[in-house]
Amino acid sequence: MKYYQPVDQPGDANASYSNGNLGAGIKGSIPDARAIEHPQREILAVIAAAGLTPDEETLTQLRDAIAIIAGNRLRAQGTNIASAATTNIGAADSDFITVTGTTTITSLGTGTKYDHVWVKFAGVLTLTHNATSLILPTGANIVTVAGDMAEFVRISAGNWQCVGYHRATGSPLGSSPTERKQLTANTTFYVTTTGNDSTGDGSVGAPWLTVQKAIDVLTSKYDGGGYNATINVGSGTFAGASITNPFIGGGIIVNGNGAANTTIGVIYASSICSIQVQNYKASNLSGPALQADQGGRIVVGAGMNFGACSGEHMLASNGGKIIRTAAYTISGNASYHLRAGSGSFITESAAILVTVSTAIVVTAFALSTGSSMLDTPATSFTGSAVTGSRHSVTSNAVINVNGAGTTFFPGSTAGSTATGGQYT
């Protein structure tokens, strides 16, 4: 706002106003009309900027407006700025901006329009710490995630300091970001005998070493988004794995390189988690090959071969569920081929042909106990001899063979029912 001197003193741009004295014959200063109008308009602009309505009865509106503006220092969010090596936040059109993109930032530029800027990050990028020009709270680089907020202060020309950083997740700055990735298509991850759980990322060029690592990464860092994650397990013998945390919004498939090439130990699913297995040999000399426990669910897909186990080939326990969907082979001994216990369920989704490729020994081929259900009416069997009881059903459990008779399951001795068990 310009200063307007008295009209009667045009030669002095900084002339002061003076009062007149009529009794002494002294004239007062003659004001320029702009000297009256412009300050009023300036004051009205401040009042309006604070969101107040001018009121002739209130004589504290300028004070109130200044307090409001000072208390609500941040302006409306400005135009987004794309990340770059030099991201010039001081030249933005607001002191509250969003930085987009994933380019690493090494400088916040030399802009001087704003000295104090709030920045929201729209994605994952790296802020590079510099002890002079980009000072970060931890003295180390920061990897952003979408929704993170940072507060920067310009301390000198081209030099900025981050005085506050707030993770979108609420986790401390020193911790690793926990952003979950969402699949946008069915995606394959890889496990091989030459993989590495520490340096691998599950890609074909950098596979993991174990199935457990693959499951852990998928359940902790990915959401399915309606798609499946397939763990392609290469040739060789691999330890088993457990899934106890759900893969949200999708399915996990453990897929071997064929039963003649890939052997995997026990696959255990619990806590309402689900997993599908296919195309490998399942063998475990210290327990079952598959176990669905505590509400877990296992889908048995195509190309499976059940080898030697000290426990069951397939065990559903404590409310677990196993669904057989395709033909498979049995090539090794087990305590039971199928066992359902404690309110569990083993069933089939289609007609299943089971081939016993070599003579095996079992305690019983099929066992259902503890109010469980073993539902196999569309299964058929072929191949070598099975030594052991055909079936056992006890404790109010059910085995359903759709009236196919007591010789339905393979075995060398008759099956049995007891304590409320039903064989139908």
CATH number of the domain within which 316 lies: 2.160.20
**Residue 82 and residue 63 in contact, taking contact as beta carbons nearer than 8 Å:** no
Distance CA 348, CA 350 (A): 6
> Is 174 domain-assigned?
no
Distance CA 363, CA 168 (A): 56
Considering the domain architecture, whether residues 240 and 144 belong to the same structural domain is answered as no
- Domain boundary among the residues 109, 134, 166 is at 166
Distance CA 60, CA 218 (A): 61
Contacts of residue 355, defined as CB under 8 A and 6 or more positions apart, other chains included, come to 327, 328, 329, 330, 381, 382, 383
Considering the domain architecture, whether residues 214 and 158 belong to the same structural domain is answered as no
CA dist 394 → 250, 373, 374, 411 (Å): 36, 11, 12, 18
> Is 22 domain-assigned?
no
What's the number of domains the chain is made of?
Answer: 3
> Is 260 domain-assigned?
yes
Distance CA 287, CA 178 (A): 35
Contacts of residue 301, defined as CB under 8 A and 6 or more positions apart, other chains included, come to 253, 276, 277, 278, 279, 325, 326
**DSSP character at residue 141:** -
Enumerate the β-bridge partners of residue 275.
298
pTM above 0.75, yes or no: no
- Identify the domain containing residue 357 by its residue range: 181-423
Q: The tokens of 211 are what?
A: 């199935």
Provide the sign of the torsion angle of the four alpha carbons 296, 300, 305, 306, taken in this order: positive
- Domain boundary among the residues 141, 166, 191 is at 166
> Is 175 domain-assigned?
no
Considering the domain architecture, whether residues 204 and 305 belong to the same structural domain is answered as yes
CA 237 to chain centre: 30
Enumerate the β-bridge partners of residue 399.
374, 423
Longest CA–CA span in the chain (Å) reads 137
Order of strands across the sheet with 379-383?
236-238, 262-264, 281-284, 304-309, 328-330, 352-356, 379-383
* pLDDT tens sequence for the chain (424 residues): 889 899 888 989 999 999 988 888 888 999 999 999 999 999 999 888 878 899 888 888 888 788 766 655 545 688 999 999 999 999 988 889 999 999 999 999 998 888 889 999 999 899 999 999 999 998 889 988 889 999 999 999 999 999 999 988 777 776 555 567 889 999 999 999 999 999 899 999 999 999 999 999 999 999 999 999 999 999 999 999 999 999 999 999 999 999 999 999 999 999 989 999 999 999 999 999 999 999 999 999 999 999 999 999 999 999 999 999 999 999 999 999 999 999 999 999 999 999 999 999 999 999 999 999 999 999 999 999 999 999 999 999 999 999 999 999 999 999 999 999 999 9
Considering the domain architecture, whether residues 159 and 223 belong to the same structural domain is answered as no
